[in-house]
């Protein structure tokens, strides 16, 4: 949430995909945690398309939709900050 608030004014967008969750659970969780970006429900087609093999999977795409970085499992804030900066530089 902190990084989204920091980087969204710089043009970074985030999209969350919930896997195997119910929409009402996702909505309650995102509201409770101040997650102000778009959240969607991932179907099996998206899981296959983006090769999601673990949860959480975080994929950083540049403005052309090219994958820049991918992380499987939880990561620290500094790791995500470096990925955001990489996108801004491209």
Residue with token string 């999601």: 52
Rounded to two decimals, the pTM is: 0.83
List of the chain residues with pLDDT < 50: none
Residues 63 and 88: beta-carbon distance below 8 Å: no
Which distant-in-sequence residues (6+ apart) come within 8 Å of 87 by Cβ?
12, 60, 61, 62, 63, 68
Residue-level pLDDT at 75: 96
């Amino acid at each position: 949430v902190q990084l989204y608030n920091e980087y969204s004014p710089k043009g970074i967008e985030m999209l969350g995909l919930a896997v195997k969750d119910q929409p009402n659970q996702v909505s309650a969780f995102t509201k409770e945690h101040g997650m102000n970006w778009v959240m969607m429900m991932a179907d099996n087609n998206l899981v296959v398309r983006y090769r999601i093999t673990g949860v959480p999977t975080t994929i950083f795409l540049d403005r052309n939709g090219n994958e820049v970085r991918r992380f499987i499992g939880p990561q620290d804030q500094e790791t995500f900050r470096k990925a955001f900066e990489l996108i801004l530089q491209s």
